[in-house]
Amino acid sequence: MSNFKPFIRLSLFTVGLCFVSNFSLTGQDTHQRFSSIVDRYFDESSRLSPVGATGMGDHRFDSEINDVSAVGRNRTATFYREILAELDALKPSDFSRDEKIDRALLEHRLNAALWKQQELEEWAWNPLVYSGVAGGSIYSLMAREFAPLPDRLKSATARLEKLPQLYSQTRKELQPHRVPKIHAETAISQNRGVLSIIKNTIEPQLDQLNQTDRLRLTKAIETAREAVEEQQLWLENELLPKAKGEYRIGKELFDQKLAWTLQSSLTREQIRNRGLAFMNDLHEHMYELSKDIYAERFPYTEFPAHPSPAYKKAIIRSCLEMAYQDRPSADGVVEAANHSVKLTSDFLREKDIITMPDDPMEIIVMPEFQRGVSLAYCDSPGPLETNLKTFYAVAPPPASWTEAQVESHLREYNHRSLHNLTVHEAMPGHFVQLAHANRNPRKLRAVLSSGVFVEGWAVYSEWMMCEEGFLEGDLLMRLIVLKWYLRDVTNALLDQAVHVDGITKTEGMRMLVEDAFQEEREADGKWRRAQLTSAQLSTYFVGYLEHVDLRAEAEERWGDSFDLKTYHDTALSFGSIPTQYVRSLLFDLEL
């Protein structure tokens, strides 16, 4: 029996399914019709989003690029409504449990996408949507060897030729007065990232093509350069001066987006209340641990019987300072991350608590068009592909930072924090989890992922690794893990404080620095991220609670037969789907 001890358990599995049927079909007809609908969804959605299709692993449209005009947007909405109507016509009683889950996943994805398009309307005010398409259109072709290099270069040629059209549509769709200044500034910093992709991944490979194809690609590169620079001028001289939009999406939209994102019974108010309670508990836990660390260094210390909150924080900070002294150099972060990958993967293989994939993984410097939102991410192959390389991307300190800012960043991402970051992003976090998910034979399970499940697993992995003995005896490592979990709690609190409560930057920075012990650069980056995104920062905290609850239920149901590796492998085998569906499949329960 496991000795895993989460901070607090919470039952979240109260989401039910409700299906409506308009027509009567036989059971066999229902199965065949549903399978046909799923096939049609994948086929047509790839046509409507060629860049997304490439990233997913469908390479039929690698030479095409997204139509981001109003016409293209309306075509997508019409298709989604058609699929929803076809699903509504099916008889729910004829569905198997697997089909019920797949249907629920598809319906949710389509309805959420329609809500985003019609209510949130990011197409009108978020330029990052478009810079992601532009950069991703080329990066997704060149990053992985899913096809021979000449074939990928030809596809890249065709997309480079279409970049002027994409940028032209972008300029027509964005409404500058609705664009928040922070979004315009970030788009400006990302836009020329396309040029770095061309320079680093395409130009060195020109000699792989015959003369005719090489000349066409050379011309396409020049066309793309001109288009990127034209877009840059527009962003700097037209968009930014007129960018007067509000980055706070407000209570109504935030609550709706939170519901679409979490698919949980938890409300915003409940998340806030639980988050505040967790913050207090974590402060107490960190203080008790810090007393042991401090006493090792200063054995004659007498701690007060009733310390003030300020005293407790001072002791915690003094111990965190010990961890901060062990940090990489500015140009040694990737090397340190590589060491963390070896350390964590060796531990997991030795403990044998999860099946480790043989898929290749490489640590890279984050591409420029992706920077400005988070420090690191895991870029796994498309869910329809296996055995291709995963990239664990780490952003370097920006060249514009002062020496003091770089030091702040490196203090936050000290060696122990990099170990924890690697656990979260790779071992056994996103890399391992997504490698399992991508092997699920049901395409919808692999493609329609739940951010709550994905991020929740990564956060669960951090504390689980500590409990299983990773760097056992290193109390500073445990303190860093607690600090990271405090970060996840604070993420959820900051998310709604920014978009609903109207918290100021000073108030936000105070919470991040004083209550969550974050260094100034990390806190400033998180404030920026909270402005650029909404609802996503809540997925870490809620997802952790769901995973802890799921594992506790497995331990209770399986009793002495509970085996951690079996639990992990089985829970991850169903894809990155919402936890309530994993629970149904894990315990063989009806929905």
- Provide the pLDDT for residue 28: 65
Which whole-number Å values give the CA distances from 517 to 314, 321, 510, 521, 571, in the listed order?
10, 11, 10, 12, 33
Mean pLDDT of 268-273: 97
At 250, is the secondary structure helix, strand, or coil? coil
Question: Which amino acid is it at 517?
Answer: F
Cα distance between residue 535 and residue 352, in whole Å: 35
Q: Which pair of tokens denotes residue 476? A: 């500073």
Q: For residue 174, is pLDDT > 90?
A: yes
Instruction: Give the chain's radius of gyration (CA, Å).
Output: 24
The predicted pLDDT at position 385 comes to: 83
At 479-529, the pLDDT tens digits run 999 999 999 999 999 999 999 999 999 999 999 999 999 999 999 999 999
pLDDT of residue 369: 62
In the numeric block, the tokens 């056992």 are attached to: 472
Query: Phi and psi dihedrals of 91, rounded to 5?
Result: -85, 115
What does the pLDDT average to over 346-352? 97
Query: Bigger pLDDT: 559 or 371?
Result: 559
Percent of the chain at pLDDT exceeding 90: 81
Q: For 397-446, what is each residue's pLDDT tens digit?
A: 888 889 999 899 899 999 999 999 999 999 999 999 999 998 888 989 98
Which pLDDT belongs to residue 395? 79
Confidence label for 363 from pLDDT (cuts 50, 70 and 90):
confident
Residue 185, H or E segment: helix 181-191
pLDDT digits (tens, 9 = 90+) for 286-323: 999 999 999 999 999 999 999 999 999 999 999 999 99
Residue 377 has pLDDT above 90, yes or no: no
Distance of alpha carbon 285 from alpha carbon 281, whole angstroms:
6
CA–CA separation, 280 and 489 (whole Å): 11
Give yes or no for residue 259 having a pLDDT over 60: yes
How does residue 552 score in pLDDT terms, banded at 50, 70 and 90?
A: very high
Question: Tokens 């990233």 — which residue?
Answer: 55
What one-letter code names the amino acid at 304? P
Omega cis (within 30) before 304: no
The token pair at 520 is 């100034």
What tokens appear for 338 in the block?
Answer: 């590589």
Q: Is the pLDDT of residue 375 over 80?
A: no
The angle at the Cα of 69, spanning 128 to 252, to the nearest 5 degrees, equals 55
Instruction: With cut-offs at 50, 70 and 90, classify the pLDDT of residue 12.
Output: very low
Asked whether the predicted pLDDT for residue 21 surpasses 50, the reply is no
Taking the C-alpha atoms of residue 176 and residue 178, their distance in angstroms, rounded to an integer, is 5
Q: Read off the pLDDT of each residue in 357-367 and give the average, rounded to a whole number.
A: 84
Q: What's the pLDDT tens digit per position in 41-74? A: 999 999 999 999 999 999 999 999 999 999 999 9
CA atoms of 413 and 392, how far apart (whole Å)? 15
pLDDT at 8: 42
Helix 475-496, helix 539-558: angle, nearest 10: 120
β-strand pairing of 390-394 with 361-365: parallel
* 157 or 90, higher pLDDT: 157
367-396 core/surface letters (b: 16 or more CB in 10 A; e: else): bbbbbbbbbbbbbbbbbbbeebbbbbbbbb
Q: What is the pLDDT of residues 144-153, one digit of tens each?
A: 899 999 999 9
Tell me: the pLDDT tens digits for 209-244?
Answer: 999 999 999 999 999 999 999 999 999 999 999 999
Instruction: Name the region of 517 (left: φ>0; alpha: ψ -120 to 50; beta: rest).
Output: left
Q: What are phi and psi of 506, to 5 degrees?
A: -60, -45
Compute φ and ψ for 103, nearest 5 degrees: -65, -45
State the average pLDDT over residues 553-582.
97
Asked if 524 and 509 count as a contact pair (C-beta separation under 8 A), the reply is: yes
pLDDT at site 27: 57
Global model pTM greater than 0.75 = yes
Mean predicted lDDT score pLDDT of the chain: 92
pLDDT of residue 201: 93
The stretch 7-12 carries a mean pLDDT of 41
Confidence at residue 1, expressed as pLDDT on a 0 to 100 scale: 43
Q: Is the pLDDT of residue 379 over 90?
A: no
Helix, strand, coil proportions of the chain in percent (round to 5)?
70, 5, 30
User: Distance between CA atoms of 452 and 579, rounded to whole angstroms?
Assistant: 8
pLDDT at 531: 97
pLDDT at position 6 is: 56
Cα–chain center distance at 338:
21
Does 31 have pLDDT greater than 70?
yes
Q: Is residue 360 predicted with pLDDT exceeding 70?
A: yes
pLDDT at 7 over 70: no
**3-state SS string for 100-152:** HHHHHHHHHHHHHHHHHHHHHCHHHHCHHHHHHHHHHHHHHHHCCCCCCHHHH
Give the residue-averaged pLDDT of 90-96: 85
pLDDT value at residue 26: 57
Give the mean model confidence (pLDDT) for residues 129-140. 95
Three-state DSSP state, 334: helix
pLDDT classification of 371: cutoffs 50, 70, 90 = low
- Residue 331: its pLDDT value, please? 84
